[in-house]
Amino acid sequence: MDDDKGLSEGEPWFEPKRFGYGAGLPIAWQGWVLTGGFLVGLFVLIVVTGALARTGSILAAAPVAALVALMIGFGRICARHTRGGWRWRWGGDD
């Protein structure tokens, strides 16, 4: 039994950008859920960081580190689930 298929198989969640590098809009419900979850996480971490920064606490750095991890994770999942992967595109049909 081969369990090493990864998440890249199956229907894509994001359409590739026509020009440039990266993913475009979500094309599946999973992409929309992922994007919504990312935005909620981003908002929560920004609010928490602001609240901790006003107290002058050194703990304000922890949400910043979590924010970086959230963005990296979101980008990696988007890249894995974009039709054709992430690569530079010049606007042609591919």
Domains of the chain by residue range: 29-81
- Integer angstrom CA distances of residue 61 from 8, 39, 73: 33, 20, 18
Tens digits of per-residue pLDDT, 12-61?
A: 999 988 888 888 899 999 999 999 999 999 999 989 888 888 887 778 78
Distance of CA 59 to the CA centre of its chain: 25
Q: How confident is the model at residue 49, as a pLDDT?
A: 86
Between residues 86 and 6, which one has the greater pLDDT?
86
Please tell me what DSSP assigns to residue 82.
Answer: B
pLDDT at 86: 85
pTM: 0.77
